[in-house]
Amino acid sequence: MPALLIGPLGPLELAIIVGVIVLLFGVGRISRIGGDLGSSIKEFRRAVREDDEEEEEGATQEAQAQVQEPAQQAAPPAATPTESAPRSDSGSRNVF
Whole-prediction pTM value?
0.43
Among 38, 17, 21, residue whose Cα is nearest residue 30: 21
Indicate the average pLDDT of the chain. Answer: 76
Higher per-residue confidence, 92 vs 42 = 42
Residue 87 · residue 94 · CB < 8 Å:
yes
